[in-house]
Amino acid sequence: MKRHITEETIIFFSVMKWLFLSTSVGIVIGYLMSIFLKTLKYAESTQSLTPIPYYFFLPFGLMLTIWIIYTFDKNAVGHGTEKVIEAVHENNGYINVKVIPVKLVATVITIFSGGSVGKEGPGAQIGAGAASFIATLLKFSKKDRKKLVICGISAGFASVFGTPIAGAIFGIEVLVVGVIMYDVLLPSFVAGFAAFTTAQFFGIEYPYYDITFYRSFDLDIKLISLVVVGGVFFGLVALFFTIMVNKIEKALEKLPYNKYQIAFAAGTFMALISFFISTKYLGLGLNTINEILDPTSNAIQGVNWWDFIMKTLFTSLSLGSGGSGGIITPIFYVGATSGATFGHLVGNHILLFAALGFVSVLAGTTNTPIASIIMAVELFGTNMANYAAISVVIAFLITGHRSVFSSQKLSLRKADNIDIEDGNAIENVNMNMNLKDFNRVKDFGQRLKFRNFKFTKKDK
């Protein structure tokens, strides 16, 4: 009996400790996120005041971003989530506090000039950086600092997404594919909710989409079949996005030119495309996303089937050439536009498939199916849960053992006949594939083809 009382007492004080710490960290991060998001909004609102189209500043914006990052803190390069995952796995969560102002300024410059990047990655990096600074200031152990930094990641995502539960889960789920860190679950939820409510208190507004007129409890075999096909399609879109981002980034690194020349060339190319074709692939792209997911609009008329391809190209060039920002908002854009295109092709379920694409491509590119399903419920209503669960999980599996975050660790095999080395970074994972079943299917197909050929000749 005494042992149980001691155990419960220790657990009680541990819970109280992390409730206090995660709430405090969440409030601080929520305030920082409100500054970051308001600064971004102001920067976007001033684009129309420039004497020439703002996107002609993109080559210079990318070069300025490179100079700021490589002068003050190289960890601010690229999309912030990657650096945060790397810090958790390799540095016990230590992040230099300098990254907060550098990442904020670099992201604002990139987005102001038209770079196709997002805001969630910087949010996670700023949140994690603030949590790491607090842990260092209070002289936490490596274990507690790592735990607090994970809370900072969740708080950053929650306050930028506008989805406190999904944001908190995303911050945990994105670290290791196939593993949920239950010891950080409660403080991550608390930090995410505290950051979200604090950001709201300081005037941040989040978009939510009313598509609850869809029926989710009636058995509609045809629609469910389309959702299954859609899941496969979104998985292929996620695979395309992941491969393109990684390939273009590596290709730009191999070019025999310095960083500034590459940035200027990439920015000029995107500016010319924007001038002669369309500006909708620049920046965050939130207007396009909001219009597509608005039940009262007919935004599908302005969506082209190649929009998600062009957005992928612009995002790859923006990040690969030195721009600073996140990658998740562009993923939302790619998911919503590809979903609207798929819905247009299969019938009159455009809004439903746009919403499914929004969360399914996220799951496929980042390996976060649970957070993506919860996000579908928080953004689109509970009636989306059944359809989202099917589409999200299929897209997550179809993408295979790949991710837009190369530092993400892998602890899950997505097929029975694939063996992986557990715990390695996803970019270094070694896979052994058993092709026995595949060869059986292949041999059966060849025999079937041969028999049909013989039958045809005899029939003649």
pLDDT above 70 as % of the chain: 89
β 176-177/409-410 pair status = parallel
Q: In the prediction, which pLDDT does 458 show?
A: 43
Domain 2-201 has CATH 3.30.1490.100: no
Q: In the prediction, which pLDDT does 459 show?
A: 43
Query: What is the torsional sign of CA 93, 98, 101, 105?
Result: negative
Tell how far CA 71 is from the center of its chain: 28
Domain range 221-410, CATH architecture: Orthogonal Bundle (1.10)
Out of 238-247, 375-384, 418-427, 442-451, give the one with best mean pLDDT. 238-247
Q: What is the pLDDT of residues 196-232, one digit of tens each?
A: 999 999 999 988 876 655 544 456 788 889 999 999 9
Residues 342 and 360: beta-carbon distance below 8 Å:
no
State the Cα–Cα distance between residues 394 and 389, nearest whole angstrom.
Answer: 9
pTM: 0.90
pLDDT of 163 higher than 70: yes
State the Cα–Cα distance between residues 126 and 104, nearest whole angstrom.
Answer: 8
Q: What is the pLDDT of residues 78-106, one digit of tens each?
A: 777 888 888 888 888 899 888 999 999 99
Residue in the block written with tokens 């803190």 = 73
Between 125 and 456, name the one with better pLDDT: 125
Mean pLDDT of the chain: 87
Q: In the prediction, which pLDDT does 76 show?
A: 80
Q: In the prediction, which pLDDT does 455 show?
A: 40
Tell how far CA 384 is from the center of its chain: 20
Residues 430 and 268: beta-carbon distance below 8 Å:
no
Between 221 and 130, name the one with better pLDDT: 130
DSSP codes, 191-205: HHHHHHHHHHHTT--
**In which region does residue 215 sit, left (phi positive, over 0), alpha (psi from -120 to 50) or beta (all else)?**
beta
Q: In the prediction, which pLDDT does 238 show?
A: 96
**Any residues with CB less than 8 A from the CB of 204 and at least 6 apart, and which?**
33, 34, 37, 38, 159
State the Cα–Cα distance between residues 200 and 38, nearest whole angstrom.
Answer: 12
State the Cα–Cα distance between residues 198 and 26, nearest whole angstrom.
Answer: 8
Tell how far CA 191 is from the center of its chain: 20
Query: Other CB atoms closer than 10 Å to residue 266's CB: what's the count?
Result: 25
State the Cα–Cα distance between residues 91 and 84, nearest whole angstrom.
Answer: 10
**Any residues with CB less than 8 A from the CB of 166 and at least 6 apart, and which?**
158, 371, 372, 374, 375, 378
pLDDT classification of 269: cutoffs 50, 70, 90:
very high
Q: In the prediction, which pLDDT does 260 show?
A: 95
- Three-class secondary structure of residue 21 per DSSP: helix
Q: In the prediction, which pLDDT does 204 show?
A: 92
Residue intervals of the chain classified under CATH 1.10.3080.10 are 2-201, 221-410
Q: What is the pLDDT of residues 396-443, one digit of tens each?
A: 999 988 899 988 888 877 777 777 766 677 777 676 766 665 565 556
H or E element that contains 357: helix 350-366
pLDDT classification of 21: cutoffs 50, 70, 90:
very high
Question: Which amino acid is located at 321 in the chain?
Answer: S
**HSE, side-chain direction, 13 A CA sphere, residue 227:** 23
**HSE, side-chain direction, 13 A CA sphere, residue 423:** 1
Question: Which amino acid is located at 449 in the chain?
Answer: K
Please state which of the ranges 29-33, 77-81, 255-259, 349-353 shows the lowest mean pLDDT: 77-81
Whose CA is closest to 307, among 334, 330, 329? 334
Q: In the prediction, which pLDDT does 443 show?
A: 63
State the Cα–Cα distance between residues 88 and 142, nearest whole angstrom.
Answer: 10
State the Cα–Cα distance between residues 309 and 305, nearest whole angstrom.
Answer: 8
Q: In the prediction, which pLDDT does 456 show?
A: 44
